[in-house]
Amino acid sequence: MEFNLLRTAKYQISATAPHNFPPDEGFEVAFAGRSNAGKSSCLNTITNQKALARVSKTPGRTQMINFFALQDPQLKLVDLPGYGFAKVPGAMRADWGKNIQAFLETRQALKGLVVMMDVRRPFGELDQQMINWAVSRGVPAHAVLTKADKLSRNQQKQALMKTQKALPEGCSAQLFSSLKRDGISELEHQLALWMLEPEKTPEA
């Protein structure tokens, strides 16, 4: 299926503190993951835009919470700062953490959390914490195993099965490759389930 509204995504605002967040209304899906897990590439791929989200080989470049509004302004994608191994001062990293925590704990518009994990290194401690947080707050979580093209088909299948078994009940997982453009339809369908009213959700 295609969730065509994703193609209309436009940058709205970058927030460095909770008071910079846009109004807490509508339907939002946040994207989280380790630094360099492929979040920006994934966002650019599913929106079919080359530079909606900045792509960098340097971990930690996404330093703010970035909001992208779709053509329907009640629908937003949210790019959270990458976590782990960011080569930035500890004080700045602590500020990111507080900012992310405030967003995750208070945002009523948040309808789903996409946790990006490199298929070769899934389930780091911070990945697990993020998923556990979603479960504890009742926010649906979807694990996206990025860079699937780095593994053989058999290895991909094994990694997906292992991830699905490790996830808490109610969470889902899939494989994804921005390079090969694999997994786009599956992720679009998940986003549509979270962001659209049932009668407006395209069929798979």
Which residue reads 């080569």 in tokens?
87
Contact yes or no for 196/112 (Cβ under 8 A)? no
Per-residue pLDDT of the chain (204 residues; tens, 9 = 90+): 468 999 999 999 988 889 999 999 999 999 999 888 999 899 999 999 988 876 544 444 456 899 999 999 899 999 998 887 555 555 555 666 778 888 998 999 999 999 999 999 999 888 998 999 999 999 999 999 999 999 999 999 999 999 999 999 999 999 999 999 999 999 999 999 999 975 455 555
Nearest-angstrom CA–CA distance, 160 and 182: 14
Which residue reads 């994934």 in tokens?
42
Q: Which domains, ranges and CATH numbers included, belong to the chain? A: 4-200 (3.40.50.300)
Contact yes or no for 24/67 (Cβ under 8 A)? no
